[in-house]
Structure 1
Amino acid sequence: MRKPVLLALTLLLSAPALAWVPKLEETTAKNVIDGAYGRREPVPTYLTLDLNVKDGQFASGPGAVKVFDGGEKCLADWLAAPGDFAAGSRPAAVTVSGQADQLYFQAVDARDNFQVLSAEGALGADLTAKRMAEGLLRVDVNVRGLPSEKARDAYLLRLRAPDGKLVAPVRKSFVNDWKPMVGAGSTTAVTPPATSTTPATTVNTAVKGPLEGTLVYYFEPLKAGIGASDKVELLIRTEADTSCAYSVTLDLGSFQ
């Protein structure tokens, strides 16, 4: 009668404790690599919050998004008309990850190329240099309905530290996945003059919105007093010229 209890206890003890890993070490590296090679169940290396709206609620569940500024009408309008971008774009998903997630992709690449990757090799200088620096937390925000590529710069993200201080990202970028939304975008075409050696061609010089794509931000939570297993608020202001700002909770204790 006690065997199922002992088995469950053994599985719990053998499973790695979950918490964001600011600096990879041998045990975590081995667990991530073994998961990528199929030697064990994959280790969770990221957290994604689905902010798409279905039947009047966020896919991640009621309360997934809260109002930080601007009043409840901001959230009510979002839920009532998630595809109406006249008043600004909408975050569609937020994904948070660290060094372990980047190691996972390095391990998958080695596996797919019929190579063996060890924890020692993963922590070597070559592969370490290709991952984000120690202490960085990466936040990807998938956006729908942005009016232009320039408007990517208008997005504002902050982490809210335990003392209430708002922590800005140390770096920001974007994924090269930006494109017009299906049925909603267009391009501006320019036809340069033809010469004796160059035939006339049509060149796309600008992409008109609404657009969809991914913004990337890097934070240093530890320096702000945020622990590796804490739940922390992420605050988001879109490019819209309104007072609306939103809050989502990132559980750093749900992944490595």
Structure 2
Amino acid sequence: MNRHLTLLTLCSLLAAPAYAWVPKLEDTTAKNVIDGAYGRRDPVATYLTVDLSVKGGAFVGGKDAVTAFDGGAACVADWLAAPDDFTKGSRPAQLTVSGQADQLYFQAQDARNNFQNLSVKAALAEDSASRRLPDGQLRVDIGVRGLPGEKARGAYLVRLKGPDGKLIAPVRSTYVNDFKQEGGTWSGTLVYYFEPLKAGLGASDTVPLLLRTEADTDCAYQIPLDLGKFS
């Protein structure tokens, strides 16, 4: 009986999808993503979302979703105690990490919705590739709530922490055109682009993302991003 259970467990592990962020699309990943978009197989996980909202005094994303990098444990405790109190600064609400595979998924969906077939060859052609992220870039979207104004979007500081502890700045940053005013504060999505491999990070590593809001405080937060959970 134990042997039978062991075999079942082993088979389950072998059957489970194995992911790692794909810095540069190749034939196999492209085919799997396209086939998933067309319904020819189960969809491939092409992004990771971390829920930073608070319910019942805890992060929905788990107790280790956010820890204090600077400013002490009180920074996180204050966030958990009053997630909708923006007098001490805005709050990140959700974080999404993605790469080229996610953009290919949307391209494939668009082709399907327009009654077209997207081949792997066409998807990897230079014309298509030029409309996606450059090779080696990782995109991080951060949904924020409670900004005092639109100008405060540029006051956020976001870094990745490398294996040697070095802080890695984004190669560029922007924001989605979704910002709106609610009750005197602003909410919307900030976007950052990183090149983790150049800093010695691996495509399946768990990478610490460090974040300071626009607030004039010592508080800085650390959020782990598991690159091994999506392609």
Place the TM-score, normalised by the shorter chain, in its bin.
over 0.9
Q: Which TM-score applies when normalising by structure 2?
A: 0.94
Amino acid at match of 1:142: G
Give the match's secondary structure for 2:188: strand
Q: Distance in 2 between matches of 1:134 and 1:141?
A: 22
Aligned partner of 2:19 in structure 1 is: 18
Q: Distance in 2 between matches of 1:64 and 1:143?
A: 16
Q: 1:15 to 1:124 in 2, by over 3 A?
A: farther
Following TM superposition, by how much is the alpha carbon of 1:17 offset from its aligned partner in structure 2, in angstroms? 2.7
CA deviations over 1:84-125 (Å, ceiling 9, x no partner): 001100000111000000000000000100100011110011
Aligned partner of 2:65 in structure 1 is: 64
CA deviations over 1:112-167 (Å, ceiling 9, x no partner): 00100011110011211110100000000000000111100100000000000000
Aligned partner of 1:104 in structure 2 is: 105
The count of residues paired between Structure 1 and Structure 2 equals 228
Rg (Cα) greater in structure: 1
Aligned partner of 1:226 in structure 2 is: 201
Indicate yes or no: 2:136 matched with 1:135.
yes
Q: Distance in 2 between matches of 1:234 and 1:245?
A: 10
Give the percent of matched residue pairs that are identical in Structure 1 and Structure 2.
Answer: 68
Following TM superposition, by how much is the alpha carbon of 1:62 offset from its aligned partner in structure 2, in angstroms? 1.1
Indicate yes or no: 2:186 matched with 1:211.
yes
Following TM superposition, by how much is the alpha carbon of 1:15 offset from its aligned partner in structure 2, in angstroms? 6.0
Could you tell me which runs of 5 or more consecutive residues in structure 1 were left unpaired when the two chains were aligned. 186-209
Q: Distance in 2 between matches of 1:214 and 1:53?
A: 18
Structure with greater helix share of residues:
2
Give the match's secondary structure for 2:170: coil
Q: Structure 1 residue runs of 4+, over 6 Å off?
A: none
Aligned partner of 1:207 in structure 2 is: none
Q: Distance in 2 between matches of 1:13 and 1:99?
A: 26
Give the match's secondary structure for 1:157: strand
Cα RMSD (Å) of the superposition?
1.8
Amino acid at match of 2:214: E
Q: Distance in 2 between matches of 1:86 and 1:7?
A: 50
Aligned partner of 2:217 in structure 1 is: 242
Q: Distance in 1 between matches of 2:173 and 2:50?
A: 20
